[in-house]
Structure 1
Amino acid sequence: MNAAWECRDQSDQSEEYFNQPLRLENQRLQDENLALKRLLRENGLRWPAGPYSQLQDPPSQASSDLPYLPVEVMLKILSYALTSRHPVMDPLCSSKKENLTTEEQNRSNQIAIHFLATCKTYYVEGKKLMWANNTFVFTSVQAMKAFANVDLVYRQMVKQVSFRIIAQFYDDEEGRIHRLSSEYHPSQSRRLKLPVQKRVKEPTLARRGFRAYAWYQLIDFLEALLPPFDPAIEHHKPRPRLLPNLERLRIDLVNFGEGLFMSPPTHLHDVAAHQLGCALNELVIAGLPIDDTGFRARTELCGMLRDDGLLIDHAPTLVAQKNGLQPLAGHHIHYKVVRAMRPSRGITHHHHDDRPNFFDEFPPAPKDEGIPPFSENASCRTIWKKVPECIGRLDNRNWVLFDRVSGLPWDDVEEEITMLDFSGDSEDEDMAMVCENCGEVHPGSIPPDELLDEMYDDDP
């Protein structure tokens, strides 16, 4: 199978450009309406009746015959009405049918959005609850860019989002069939046919052959998280990112099959490891190909995590076929703690030579709330993390002990570490069991100077 050439398709890009003036025209009309409202208000006139014309304060008990409810009760009702049981798909944008599963397409409206049009108080308080209480799934780069229109006050409330990135394939050769690898998903027993969009063959080598918009699409999604332009932000201050307080990011990669792609563009490292580096406490990736290309992409994306951050690697949860998006069953999940060997105060490291406060500028991921269970293997080499039971229920979590050196769960490396500690001469066994970092005797003792230097030299 020939790997697809990575590119941004010209037809899709031109469609996006064609739709962009519509948003600008809508914005112009909104500004014109606001100016007319201001003019009428200054002259003591009322705006004509409409769905949003009665944005007044709610009637009090003295001025209305309606039953009176305390403010706390009204806010509680408003919170329930504006909180969805399911993630909100593409807020502020219309989702494409091919980017949704059958269940999502048939799902009724989960938010009573009309509450915001009843009065001014509900409008102000309701927007806070709507953005703070819900989770959001973005299926297109355009939906991510449109989210920049939300005021920064509300964008700061978003703590977790999900990206659904469906690889797009194009070909200008007739009769050529492309299929997903049989190892795309553990439950997959046959090679599935890829949905490929046919393109007219052009008399140029720039846009010919089998092409894919996959890694570039991932880069476009990540770039949408960068600071949008805001004239209200002072120039001498750093511009906040699209979601300044984002803590957890889930990325669902769809149709990213093994052997389909070339290596990710080098720009992925710049965006993930530098511009968005050390920004997340948890990263969930589902659907990375199990080949060298997927391993490299996983390494680059880990740069988005803080030290001690949790990486959750999962098999694909979705597959895109000609008849639509289909969910895949199974909980094939793996955990890893990223860069958990962080030098303690008083331990020298090569970064301290020129910048003594290097690690103070990049704080690690905060510790999970609660008290972990007792374990005789817990030491300065290990770290406790709360991990989800499955990718569909990220809030149901259990304590798991991780090895700081490898980043893997302790149960996966305990036997190997114990064998290393008791190998060699008897004279070296006593030295191996004494930890130079804490002075205690425990399996897998850490000699800090040599081991830390070796680890950070290998880190991306």
Structure 2
Amino acid sequence: MNSAWEVRDQADQAEDYYNHPLRAKNKELEDENLQLKRILRKNGITWPNKYGIHQTVSRKRTRSSTANTSIPYLPPEIMLKILSYALTSSSPIIDPLAKSKKDHLTLEEKNRPNQIAIHFLATCRAYYEEGMKMLWTQNTFTFTSVQSVKLFSEVDASYRCCVKQANLRIIARFYDDEDRAHRLPRDHHPQIHNRPRLRVQRRAREPTLARRGFRSYAWYQLVDFLEALLPPHNPGHDHTVPRTRLMPNLEVMRIDLVNFGEDMFQYSPAQLHDVASHQLGCSLNELIVTGLPTDDTGSRTGTELSGLLKDDGLLINHAPTLVALKQGGLRVLQGNEFRKKVVRSMRPAMGVHHHHHDDHPDYFDEFPPAPPDNGEPPYSQYHSCRTIWKRVPEWIERPHKRHWVLFDRVSGLPWEEVQDEALMFDFLDDTDEEEGMMCENCGEVHPGAILPDELMDDLYDDDI
């Protein structure tokens, strides 16, 4: 299959631009209606009901007038528990504040009933204030479009600061001006026995060769998703302090790449490096990427995405979990095969060269590493300054169930992958080779400080 020409399709861009003024106009009308309601309520007049009849507002009831009410009294602690139960979803909330497209959902998600009792927030002001905190702090969110991420900026900044996890579902789009079939590679996933056809949107054939042929909106879509996480516009922002990002305290992010097959795309654009390594660089403790191609293009993109992580951050490269069908909708792919790596975990020391921290003495003050995981790791005779313990999820669909894994700081890979007794050095009995025992991480001499060059070359060539 010929690789697709990566572009931002102008038809989709025009649709987004067309819908944006409508949303702004609706917001203006909503604010006006709220203001009118306050004026009418202040003067004892309710908002007209569906029959156009106005009703006078009854006077405020006192405690004595409500003493004989049939509603039982519940302590505030019980009401908060009920509120928490009503506003907490067992599954991620998809596209909050936006309407999801059916093509972006699985069959189970389409048939899923209401996840939360959102109308609980309209009961009174106290429930609204407490419920909004629970809504944004006790749930996880999945965004399937760039516009749904941008609309999230309408949430108050005090609530957006509480979001710790987010999931970006990026479905590659394809366009063609000819009637021809395009399919995923046969080895895209073991559960795909036949090569499924891609859903390709037909475009009119243009007279110029510059806009003809098979096109895709994949890597640029990834860039647009990440750029939507940048600081939104705030008219009242103090320009003497830096602007806050859309989710300033985001710690864990999962990116599901759907229909990103091998040998289907050109290299990712340069904007990906700018937004991942500079604009949003060193901000996450953990990054999970599913469906990343295994070709050179995918390897290069994975390296760029690792710039989102802090030092000692955990990067998980998982097999595809979703596939977009030609007839619409998504199909869930089973499996739990993934590779894990710790990024930029090597520490500079006297006599040790580290290119990430050169000429930056305040690097760790400005960009602190990922915090250590909670709990006590098991004992290992291989644990030293060269290794680091991380808690890794056993299954990415249940990230709370984790186990301890020992990683090599130099290569970033799990220690069990680099441990090979036949290739490990041990210079305890060889004083002439004492200089070769200097640890590449701390600069000190201790057993098992280095690995042979041929083994390290194989590890780096097999990098994520």
| 1:301 partner letter | L
Does residue 347 of structure 2 align to residue 342 of structure 1? yes
Alignment partner, residue 184 of structure 1: 188
Residue 12 of structure 1 and its aligned partner are, at CA, apart by 1.3
The structure-2 alpha-carbon separation of the partners of 1:60 and 1:180, relative to structure 1 and needing over 3 Å to count, comes to farther
Question: What does the per-residue CA deviation read over 1:271-304, in whole Å, with 9 as the maximum and x for residues that have no partner?
Answer: 1011000000000000001100000100000000
Alignment partner, residue 45 of structure 1: 44
| Secondary structure, counterpart of 2:209 in structure 1 | coil
Residue 430 of structure 1 and its aligned partner are, at CA, apart by 4.1
The structure-2 alpha-carbon separation of the partners of 1:373 and 1:195, relative to structure 1 and needing over 3 Å to count, comes to same
Residue 113 of structure 1 and its aligned partner are, at CA, apart by 0.7
Does residue 160 of structure 2 align to residue 161 of structure 1? no
Residue 190 of structure 1 and its aligned partner are, at CA, apart by 3.0
Alignment partner, residue 76 of structure 2: 71
Alignment partner, residue 404 of structure 1: 409
Larger CA deviation: 123-132 vs 426-435: 426-435
**Aligned-partner Cα distance in 2 for 1:423–1:58:** 86
Percent identity, aligned pairs only, is 60
**Aligned-partner Cα distance in 2 for 1:438–1:17:** 56
Give the TM-score normalised by the residue count of structure 2.
0.89
The structure-2 alpha-carbon separation of the partners of 1:349 and 1:69, relative to structure 1 and needing over 3 Å to count, comes to same
Larger CA deviation: 19-28 vs 404-413: 19-28
The structure-2 alpha-carbon separation of the partners of 1:391 and 1:10, relative to structure 1 and needing over 3 Å to count, comes to same
Does residue 327 of structure 2 align to residue 320 of structure 1? no
Contact 2:4 2:215 in 1 (8 A): yes
| 1:178 partner letter | H
Alignment partner, residue 453 of structure 1: none
**Aligned-partner Cα distance in 1 for 2:345–2:93:** 34
How do residues 424-443 of structure 1 correspond to structure 2 at under 5 angstroms? Answer: 426-433=430-437, 435=439, 437=442, 439=444, 441-443=446-448
The structure-2 alpha-carbon separation of the partners of 1:432 and 1:253, relative to structure 1 and needing over 3 Å to count, comes to same
How do residues 214-225 of structure 1 correspond to structure 2 at under 5 angstroms? Answer: 214-225=218-229
Larger CA deviation: 268-277 vs 429-438: 429-438
Residue 262 of structure 1 and its aligned partner are, at CA, apart by 0.4
How do residues 222-371 of structure 1 correspond to structure 2 at under 5 angstroms? Answer: 222-323=226-327, 324-343=329-348, 354-371=359-376
Residue 57 of structure 1 and its aligned partner are, at CA, apart by 11
**Aligned-partner Cα distance in 2 for 1:104–1:275:** 33
**Aligned-partner Cα distance in 1 for 2:95–2:170:** 13
Contact 1:136 1:161 in 2 (8 A): yes
Aligned positions, number: 445
Residue 442 of structure 1 and its aligned partner are, at CA, apart by 2.9
Residue 75 of structure 1 and its aligned partner are, at CA, apart by 0.6
How do residues 381-420 of structure 1 correspond to structure 2 at under 5 angstroms? Answer: 381-415=386-420, 419-420=423-424
Q: CA RMSD in A?
A: 3.0
Question: What does the per-residue CA deviation read over 1:203-259, in whole Å, with 9 as the maximum and x for residues that have no partner?
Answer: 223321000000000000000000000112211111100000000010000000001
Residue 141 of structure 1 and its aligned partner are, at CA, apart by 0.5
**Aligned-partner Cα distance in 2 for 1:139–1:348:** 42
| Secondary structure, counterpart of 1:197 in structure 2 | strand
Question: What does the per-residue CA deviation read over 1:125-169, in whole Å, with 9 as the maximum and x for residues that have no partner?
Answer: 111111111000000001011111111011001000000000000
Contact 2:290 2:320 in 1 (8 A): yes
Contact 1:165 1:252 in 2 (8 A): yes
| 1:421 partner letter | F
Contact 1:351 1:358 in 2 (8 A): no
Question: What does the per-residue CA deviation read over 1:298-357, in whole Å, with 9 as the maximum and x for residues that have no partner?
Answer: 000000000000001100000011232101011111110000002259978667774421
Contact 1:272 1:300 in 2 (8 A): yes
Alignment partner, residue 101 of structure 1: 106
Residue 50 of structure 1 and its aligned partner are, at CA, apart by 6.9
| Secondary structure, counterpart of 1:393 in structure 2 | coil
Contact 1:421 1:432 in 2 (8 A): no
Unmatched tracts of structure 1, length 5 or more = 447-458
Alignment partner, residue 4 of structure 1: 4
Does residue 116 of structure 2 align to residue 111 of structure 1? yes
**Aligned-partner Cα distance in 2 for 1:350–1:268:** 21
Question: What does the per-residue CA deviation read over 1:39-79, in whole Å, with 9 as the maximum and x for residues that have no partner?
Answer: 345x543442779x99x999979834322111111111100
Question: What does the per-residue CA deviation read over 1:7-30, in whole Å, with 9 as the maximum and x for residues that have no partner?
Answer: 111211111122112201111112
Question: What does the per-residue CA deviation read over 1:86-106, in whole Å, with 9 as the maximum and x for residues that have no partner?
Answer: 100100011000100000000
**Aligned-partner Cα distance in 2 for 1:96–1:59:** 48
The structure-2 alpha-carbon separation of the partners of 1:334 and 1:274, relative to structure 1 and needing over 3 Å to count, comes to same
Give the TM-score normalised by the residue count of structure 1.
0.90
Alignment partner, residue 217 of structure 2: 213
Contact 2:426 2:447 in 1 (8 A): no
How do residues 145-156 of structure 1 correspond to structure 2 at under 5 angstroms? Answer: 145-156=150-161
Unmatched tracts of structure 2, length 5 or more = 452-462
**Aligned-partner Cα distance in 1 for 2:60–2:367:** 45
The structure-2 alpha-carbon separation of the partners of 1:60 and 1:146, relative to structure 1 and needing over 3 Å to count, comes to farther
| Secondary structure, counterpart of 1:307 in structure 2 | strand
Does residue 203 of structure 2 align to residue 199 of structure 1? yes
| 1:73 partner letter | I
| 2:7 partner letter | C
Identify the match of residue 85 of structure 2 among 74, 80, 83: 80
Larger CA deviation: 286-295 vs 232-241: 232-241
Contact 1:307 1:342 in 2 (8 A): no
| 2:186 partner letter | S
| Secondary structure, counterpart of 1:34 in structure 2 | helix
| 1:296 partner letter | R
The structure-2 alpha-carbon separation of the partners of 1:61 and 1:192, relative to structure 1 and needing over 3 Å to count, comes to farther
